[in-house]
Amino acid sequence: MKFTRTKISDVVVVEPVVHGDERGYFVETFREDKLFNFLGYKIKFCQDNESKSSVGVLRGLHYQLHPAAQTKLVRVIKGRVLDVAVDIRKNSPTFGQYIAVELSSENKKQLLIPRGFAHGFLVLEDNTVFAYKVDNYYSLENDRGISFSDKTIGIDWGIDFNKIILSDKDLKQPLLKDMQDLFEYGVDYYV
């Protein structure tokens, strides 16, 4: 596995080694020991999630508050997405900045998104299957979100907003500047 820090160094692109031949392929999608060796600390994943979506569906930007905050390791099993992580740690030098990475069944890339980041993705192909591991269980009372179209963040989704398909929940998400429930830079949310 190859681990590459992005311009926001806490967000990491994970590229597994794909072993392929005429029969198909084999790939290790997660290795706790290799992730630990790269990060220097353990992440204990406890729940796997999966969604299937049509082209134009945008899910996010979502996060959970502490003590239910989540680290996510996300990937695409079938299809293609534009995956986005936004730094929502107050006083962070990269507060309000984002990382966007195309994840696909072809490139097999994954994105490791730590606690303190909002996450979302735009589906680029019909019948896309998106899967991810989290290190904390979902909590409705700690569920939060930020508007995908917040101009201060300025995410380039690469699509006309009129073509985006959103849930009612995501249509009503607040702007980052209106959020009181954020993370503090430098606080260890893994305790």
Give pLDDT tens digits for 129-163: 999 999 999 999 999 999 999 999 999 999 999 99
**175-182 — which CB contacts under 8 Å span 24+ positions?**
175/146, 175/147, 175/150, 176/86, 176/88, 176/96, 176/146, 176/147, 176/150, 176/152, 177/152, 179/88, 179/144, 179/146, 181/65, 181/144, 182/88, 182/89, 182/90
31 confidence band (pLDDT: 50, 70, 90): very high
Region 120-135 average pLDDT: 98
Give the active site residues. 62, 132
- Determine the pLDDT at residue 33: 94
Distance CA 162, CA 55 (A): 13
Residue 191 has pLDDT above 80, yes or no: no
Separation in Å, CA 163 to CA 35, 40, 56, 123: 37, 42, 6, 11
Q: How many CA atoms lie within 13 A of 8 on its CB side?
A: 25
Q: Is the pLDDT of residue 18 over 90?
A: yes
- Does residue 166 have a pLDDT over 90? yes
Q: What is the pLDDT of residue 80?
A: 98
Nearest to 143 by CA among 40, 38, 89, 68: 68
Closest CA to 173 of 139, 141, 149, 138: 149
In which band, very low, low, confident or very high, does the pLDDT at 114 lie, cut at 50, 70 and 90?
A: very high
3-state secondary structure (DSSP) of residue 140: helix
Domains of the chain: 45-183 (2.60.120.10)
For residues 69 and 63, the answer to whether their CB atoms sit within 8 Å is: yes
Place of tokens 């508007």: 147
Asked if pLDDT for residue 121 goes beyond 90, the answer is: yes
Locate 145 and state its tokens.
């979100």
Average of per-residue pLDDT across 1-30: 95
**pLDDT greater than 90 at residue 189:** no
Please tell me the least confidently modeled range out of 25-29, 85-89, 153-157. Answer: 25-29
- Interval 48-68 mean pLDDT: 97
pTM: 0.95
| pLDDT for position 187 | 92
pLDDT of 190 higher than 90: no
